[in-house]
């Protein structure tokens, strides 16, 4: 079968389109014929070595497809089921072996490409707004990278909870996309100082929470945008790692809270995964959650897909199609 692998860390050029042996599965695992795989920043971090993993490896942590074989102890799914998953390496391939407890059945009302697009980013937006900081009606929220895959989903979830959204983007086109899904205000960070704009828009009060996937270049100003006891939720670092800080800074800035959560720790069991994923699929089926696919590329063009994402040239989700 075909797969995208890398044998050492580096740039997109280390990704190799290879023929490999069909993976074997054990009693509690499932063989999935993948139809679509999500491309995410964590894939880039793993390729670069920022998040170390054993090498060589087949890339990718998110996919959707059809169950083609199951282990003897598998009860959660059956052959022929449409399924999706995240949190298991190996999705940049034609087939993947997945622990059965990680698989979520995809309803017939949800296309497999959409399912692949929302497993990681959809559940991330869900835990950020429903667990890390529970958004309340009347809150004012700042969302960085508002036209990205997670950003667009965050806007919709925040608005559904009755809160106000200020988003940051780099271009007018991205601003239009973010406004289309419900953003109340958009700041063009290439032309405007977002800290000053947030203070102007909130009459110097600040925001209840900042959702920040950018990291190094936004961190300091994001802290300055918060109300006393506000939350800075750092869930990515597309601009680089945030330097170490003195915890006393959090006190000086108003007893603010800093969180650095991950989806991994919000999907530790099937009991956590299923409610989150089913909620996302329900919202998609009911038209309450719009999922924007920026581009679909063939599996062989995974390096191009990752470069598009790294360059911040996307609005919505990138998918690899098998």
64 falls within a domain: yes
Q: Which among 239, 260, 281 is the end of a domain?
A: 260
Q: What is the pLDDT of residues 182-214, one digit of tens each?
A: 999 999 999 999 999 999 999 999 999 999 999
Per-residue pLDDT tens over the stretch 13-35: 999 999 999 999 999 999 999 99
| Domain harbouring 84, CATH code | 3.90.180.10
Claim to verify: residue 144 and residue 244 sit in the same structural domain: yes
Residue 126 lies in a domain: no
Q: What's the pLDDT band for 1 if we cut at 50, 70, 90?
A: very high
Give residues with Cβ within 8 angstroms of 235, minimum separation 6.
124, 128, 132, 150, 211, 212, 213, 260, 261, 262
78 falls within a domain: yes
Range of the domain at 180: 137-260
Query: For residue range 34-79, what is the model confidence (pLDDT) as tens digits?
Result: 999 999 999 999 999 999 999 999 999 999 999 999 999 999 999 9
176 lies in the same domain as 227: yes
Does 313 score more than 90 pLDDT? Answer: no
My answer on whether 113 and 162 are in the same domain is: no
- Which of 236, 260, 284 is the endpoint of a domain? 260
Domain boundary, last residue among 260, 276, 310: 260
Same domain, 9 and 111: yes
The band of 312, judged by pLDDT with boundaries at 50, 70 and 90, is confident
Q: Per-residue pLDDT averaged across 3-16, rounded?
A: 98
Whether 242 and 160 share a structural domain: yes
pLDDT reported for residue 295: 96
Which one-letter DSSP state was computed for residue 192? S
Q: What is the CATH number of the domain that holds 195?
A: 3.40.50.720
Yes or no: say if 169 and 146 are a contact pair by the CB < 8 Å rule.
yes
pLDDT, the chain, mean: 97
């Amino acid at each position: 079968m075909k797969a995208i692998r890398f044998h050492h860390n580096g740039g997109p050029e280390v990704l190799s389109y290879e023929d490999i042996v069909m993976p074997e599965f054990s009693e509690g695992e499932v063989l999935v014929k993948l139809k679509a795989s999500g491309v995410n920043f964590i894939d880039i971090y793993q390729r670069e070595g920022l998040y170390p993993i054993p090498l060589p490896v087949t890339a990718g942590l998110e996919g959707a497809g059809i169950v083609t074989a199951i282990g003897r102890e598998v009860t959660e799914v059956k052959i022929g089921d449409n399924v999706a998953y995240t949190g298991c390496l190996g999705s940049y391939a034609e087939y993947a072996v997945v622990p059965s407890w990680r698989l979520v059945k995809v309803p017939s009302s949800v296309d497999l490409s959409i399912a692949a697009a929302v497993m990681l980013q959809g559940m991330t937006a869900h835990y950020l707004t429903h667990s890390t900081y529970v958004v309340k009606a009347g809150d004012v929220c700042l969302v960085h990278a508002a036209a990205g895959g997670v950003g667009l989903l965050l806007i919709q979830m925040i608005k559904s909870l009755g809160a106000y959204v200020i988003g940051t983007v780099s271009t007018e086109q991205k601003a239009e996309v973010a406004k289309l899904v419900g953003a109340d205000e958009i700041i063009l960070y290439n032309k405007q100082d977002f800290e000053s704009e947030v203070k102007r828009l909130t009459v110097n009060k600040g925001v209840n929470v900042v959702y920040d996937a950018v990291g190094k270049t936004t961190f300091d100003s994001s802290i300055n945008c918060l109300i006393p006891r506000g939350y800075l939720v750092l869930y990515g670092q597309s601009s680089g790692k945030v330097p170490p800080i003195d915890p006393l800074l959090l006190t000086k800035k108003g007893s603010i809270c800093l969180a650095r959560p991950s989806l991994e720790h919000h999907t530790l069991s099937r009991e956590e995964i299923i409610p989150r994923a089913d909620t996302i699929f329900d919202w998609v089926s009911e038209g309450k959650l719009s999922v924007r696919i920026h581009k679909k590329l063939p599996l062989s063009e995974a390096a191009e897909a990752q470069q598009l994402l790294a360059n911040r040239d996307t609005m919505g989700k990138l998918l690899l199609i098998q």
